[in-house]
């Protein structure tokens, strides 16, 4: 007996029931090993690197000019020899010390400027004006000024690295602070948070993604500036960094 609430059968819309599959017929077929390997991003990136190395090797052998374009195998051999001799690790360590000093100083200055920008009336306008003026200025353009102020040495390197890091970190951090909802700011003020306390407990946790983006961009800018600056100052002062090693 059909239930009173059950709708009547509609033969015109009923789908035909398919016959069951045999028990010995496989339901799914396993993918080949190379297809499964290509599903992983590291494998695909490794293949790109291998393809680039092969193209490099073939083109260098075709050009047959080791001074202009050395082969990939010769370059890899020189890299291994430099690592085993300890020369390359020493150059890397020398550059990392300067990089860490400039990067830390740039991040510290950015933290101070962004804190003042959101706690002092008119601070946001000051930071915005300074960012518009100095952020587009390449750090390499300050090399002559750094040479006049600090002379040839690590202080000049730290100065240009600080400039390259400061504005990238400050811009992204301040943008993250401005994106914090007003409701969270009001909740913090109701709890008695003002000034640095409001920044540390409300703004910074809410702006972590923007802060991390600024730190990542600043790190890339710092490396680029360091190598370019060492090509000038490293050669003159024999600081022994990666730029000097490349030269």
CA–CA separation, 89 and 87 (whole Å): 6
Residues 158 and 226 in one domain: yes
Dihedral sign of CA atoms 172, 178, 181, 185 in order = positive
What's the domain range around 225?
A: 88-246
Decide if 179 is inside a domain. Answer: yes
Residues 192 and 144 in one domain: yes
Residues 121 and 227 in one domain: yes
Residues 114 and 100 in one domain: yes
Decide if 25 is inside a domain. Answer: no
Give the 3-state secondary structure of residue 233. Answer: helix
Residues 217 and 115 in one domain: yes
Total count of domains within the chain: 2
Residues 232 and 124 in one domain: yes
Decide if 136 is inside a domain. Answer: yes
Domain boundary among 25, 56, 83: 83
Q: Whole-prediction pTM value?
A: 0.74
How much is the pLDDT for 247?
66
Residues 182 and 210 in one domain: yes
Dihedral sign of CA atoms 81, 85, 89, 94 in order = negative
> What's the CATH number where 147 sits?
1.10.3720.10
What burial letters (b/e) apply to 40-61, b meaning 16+ CB within 10 Å? Answer: eeeeeeeeeeeeeeeebbeebe
Decide if 108 is inside a domain. Answer: yes
| Residue 127 CB burial class (10 angstroms; 0-12, 13-18, ≥19) | buried
Domain boundary among 67, 83, 99: 83
Residues 170 and 103 in one domain: yes
What is the biggest distance separating any 2 CA atoms in the chain, rounded to whole angstroms? 100
Residues 54 and 131 in one domain: no
Is 171 within 8 Å of 220 (Cβ atoms)? no
- Within 10 Å of residue 218's Cβ, how many Cβ atoms? 25
Residue by residue, pLDDT tens for the chain (247 residues) are 555 666 666 655 555 555 555 555 555 677 777 777 778 888 888 899 999 999 999 998 888 887 888 888 888 888 888 888 888 888 888 888 889 999 999 999 999 999 998 888 888 888 888 888 888 888 888 888 888 888 777 888 889 999 999 999 999 999 988 888 888 788 878 888 778 888 888 888 888 999 999 999 999 999 988 888 887 765 555 556 777 777 6
How much is the pLDDT for 65?
82
Dihedral sign of CA atoms 54, 58, 59, 61 in order = positive
């Amino acid at each position: 007996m059909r239930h009173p609430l059950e709708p009547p059968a509609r033969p015109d819309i009923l789908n035909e029931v398919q016959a069951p599959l045999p028990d010995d017929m496989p339901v799914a077929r396993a993918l080949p090993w190379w297809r499964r390997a290509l599903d992983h991003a590291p494998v695909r990136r490794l293949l790109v690197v291998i393809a680039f190395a092969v193209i490099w090797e073939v083109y260098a052998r075709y050009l047959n000019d080791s001074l202009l374009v050395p082969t990939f195998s010769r370059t890899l051999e020189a890299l291994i020899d430099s690592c085993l001799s300890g020369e390359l690790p020493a150059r890397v360590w020398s550059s990392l010390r300067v990089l860490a000093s400039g990067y830390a100083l740039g991040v510290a200055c950015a933290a101070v400027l962004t804190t003042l920008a959101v706690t002092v009336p008119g601070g946001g306008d000051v930071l915005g004006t300074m960012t518009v003026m100095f952020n587009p200025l390449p750090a390499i353009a300050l090399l002559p000024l750094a040479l006049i102020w600090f002379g040839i040495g690590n202080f000049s390197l730290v100065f240009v690295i600080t400039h390259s890091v400061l504005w990238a970190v400050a811009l992204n951090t301040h943008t993250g602070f401005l994106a914090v909802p007003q409701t969270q700011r009001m909740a913090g003020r109701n709890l008695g948070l003002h000034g640095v306390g409001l920044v540390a407990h409300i703004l910074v946790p809410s702006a972590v993604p923007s802060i991390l983006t600024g730190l990542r961009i600043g790190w890339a800018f710092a490396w680029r500036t360091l190598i370019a600056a060492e090509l000038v100052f490293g050669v003159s002062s024999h600081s022994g960094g990666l730029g000097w090693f490349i030269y």
